[in-house]
Chains A and B, each alone.
Chain A
Amino acid sequence: MSSPERTDVLVVGSGFGGSITAYHLAAGGAKVVILERGPWLKSDDFEHDFKLGSSYTRAFDFVVGDGMSVLGGNCVGGGSVVYFAAMPRAPRFVFERRGSINRRMWPAAVSRDTLDPWYDRVAESIPITHQGWEDATYAGGLWAAACRHAGRTANPVPAAVDREKCVNCNWMMAGCRFDAKQSLLLNYLPAALAHGAEIRPLHEVQRIERTDDGGYRVHYSVVDDEDYRITAGDGAIDAKIVILAAGAGATPVILQRSEAGLGPMPHAVGRYFSGNGERLNTAVLNEDRVREVLGLDRGDGLAYAANQIGKGPTVANWDRLDGSLPEYTRYSLEQLYFPPGLGTILAQAPGANPGWFGVGKKEMLKRWQSWLIIFQMIEDDNEGVFGPPPARGNADRLSQQMLGIGRLSYKPTANTLRAWEMADADVKDILERDGLATVTPWTNDLVGAYTVHPLASCRIGDDPHTSALDDRHELRGHPGIFVTDGSAVPGALTVNPAMTIAALAERAVPGIVQAARERGVEVTYGAPAPDGSTAGRRGVTTLIPELTRR
């Protein structure tokens, strides 16, 4: 056998966890290769089109599991290309959560205070707009007004969107054609490339094995550009350090499949999966009541009828984000947009049986422009478990793109179900007041619960039994393998997770640099933000020694 290619650092996946670490390691002097299973799409490739095979399905991954379906990115840039770019920090109480293990889930070293400097580094690297009311879309404004009418507060959500470039087309899930969304394609990834990192699209990593010199061999398949069910050959790369960042729906699967070549995995690999407590409700608004009760008017004769207009979530209700409340009763309620197809099939017609199909559903669809989607993020119980891995990737691919069947099983506990019930009731209370709307939750009967925020399937922690990674993101028992994506986050965050995933990835870098140096890689820590700014770097200086102790 010819000896495989070699690199210092091999990164699996090019989303938040992959791009951020790849940038810092490349900037620090390491030779970095990123393997990404999806295609490399540029701004001009992002289409406004629902046709199968357009950027919407090329860049997307939808894996149906038993009780939980996971949506994610499938392209260079990962979830950042298809996401809605809401970038709030997680509230303080989240880091004190006990969850299903009844003791602190997060490592003692991580709190809001110790993470804030890393959040700052991210905010300097990915321009995040502190949005005002003039940025809130009609849908966001409607949600705010309804919250106020019900005696609640509401906040415009910080977002990685350039308001000058945004045209409010609501095609974010197909990739942003206007470079308004500040995806990783605009910051960390080009900076990583400038420092010599290589990105190989359509390279799906299958498994990892140990090499005789204490390093790792990473095996991949090359995926067809159009029909992802087809592969065209295999290959392998040897690396001194492996960074797994394939997303919380894929990273544990790669590790499970690698057990033969790596030896036993920590117990928590593929366990404790959280869907970030996500659940969706659809409200169908009564346009007259919107005008009469809330006094809203678009100025063009319409009160609302603006479901199609906007930039995903712009306004959230955070009244329940109160650390003095008991666990499982804290959640946020965020206005959202989901396009037809994925955003319509699970909606249930109010009062109709059946709710998700048939005559009643067709009637409901007629009112589509008057829909308002509310997104709940409750504290779930980390109840997801991955079964034995499929033949390749993280799913048996059914369609040429997007749709596959995975191995995740998720049976919501009483805690999770109660929290969803509470949040459902709250949304109803706010939106059904004075005849504003009728609200129904999405059905969980078809594809289970549904998450775009997979987390925790390979998490950090202090307890080796319930966490697969130590507090520096190194895989227990497998030195030199790090996990820096959403799977490292210990549990549900009650807000959108990308900001926290990114901050944790930033925080993991000094430890990875140190491990690389111990393995003979000439690399240093201390790159500025991708655009050269240095305030964030100054802000974390005092935290580095703690992160590089052994």
Chain B
Amino acid sequence: MTLEAFADTIIPGEKRWPGDRAVAGAAPGGGAVAAGAIELLEWDATGISGGLGDFARALNEHALAYAAQHGIALEEDVPPFVALDHAGRTALVALLTAPGHPEKDLWVSLALFSNMAYDSAAHLSTADALAAGHPGLTAMGVTRPGADGLWRFPAYSYGRPLADLHPDTTPSGSPA
């Protein structure tokens, strides 16, 4: 739940059901969680799957400290990071990933994979992800490949001169 809330802070999405706590509902459409962030994070190919429990614990400790510092009362039925509202989560993640934070690398890598779940579906074959309506790739407007799983774009150019060439261009097409 804590890591879902983290991924949802990176690319926010709509609540999956009324009363969804992990996903804050800060943006319409599926976000990183619906895109499969947890599946990707839990895959050992990433190299961070072994540390997820520690990440969640550490994140919750940071959330407690953040809440105390800002005088925020946290509900106790969910982990502290989840209990923060979207603005609080965002502010905390910004702190943790800012230059100079001692744990920056760790939080940046977690953010990196959360992001990748959404904008490249790195846990799924891209063609399958598109066929299944993956929320990130679909929202971005990534087109579907051809029947053989490969992309080809027969139309690709405006096909006409659109600027003057630099006067010092050499015959090989390089700068002089």
Contacts and interface: CB of A to CB of B under 8 A. Distances in A.
Interface string B116-132: 10111111111100000
Nearest to B160: A133
A167 B97 contact: no
B98 A167 contact: no
B170 to A, nearest CB: 7
What size tier do the contact residues of chain B reach? 35 or more
B153 A136 contact: no
A133 B94 contact: no
A212 interface: no
Contact of A51 (B10, B26, B118, B123): B123
A362 B12 contact: yes
Contact of A153 (B123, B158, B167): B167
A433 interface: no
Contact of B140 (A90, A153, A369, A399): A369
A398 B48 contact: yes
Contacts of B99: 445
A144 interface: yes
Contact of A155 (B109, B111, B140, B169): B169
A401 B167 CA distance: 45
Nearest to A323: B176
A153 B163 contact: yes
Given A340-B120, A362-B12, A362-B27, A308 B143 contact: yes
Interface string B143-176: 1010001111111111111111111111011111
Contacts of A157: 173
A339 B154 CA distance: 19
A317 to B, nearest CB: 8
A181 to B, nearest CB: 15
A154 B162 CA distance: 8
Interface in A381-440: 397-401, 403, 405
Contacts, number: 228
Interface stretch (A168-176, A203-211, A458-466): A168-176
Interface string B37-62: 00000011111100000000000000
Contacts of A88: 173-175
Nearest to A444: B99
Interface string A192-229: 00000000000000000000000000000000000001
B125 A359 contact: no
A527 interface: no
B108 interface: yes
Given A52-B45, A133-B159, A357-B111, A169 B141 contact: no
A94 B18 CA distance: 62
A377 to B, nearest CB: 11
Interface of B: 9-12, 26-27, 31, 43-48, 90, 93-94, 97-99, 105, 108-109, 111-112, 115-116, 118-127, 136-137, 139-143, 145, 149-170, 172-176
A229 B155 contact: no
A328 B118 CA distance: 38
B45 A53 contact: yes
Contacts of A299: 155
A400 B126 CA distance: 19
Contacts of A361: 11
Contact of A358 (B90, B108, B161): B90
A141 interface: yes
A155 B159 contact: no
Contact of A156 (B141, B173, B176): B173
CB-CB nearest 9 A-B residue pairs: A154-B163, A341-B120, A144-B162, A89-B174, A167-B152, A368-B140, A168-B156, A144-B163, A141-B158
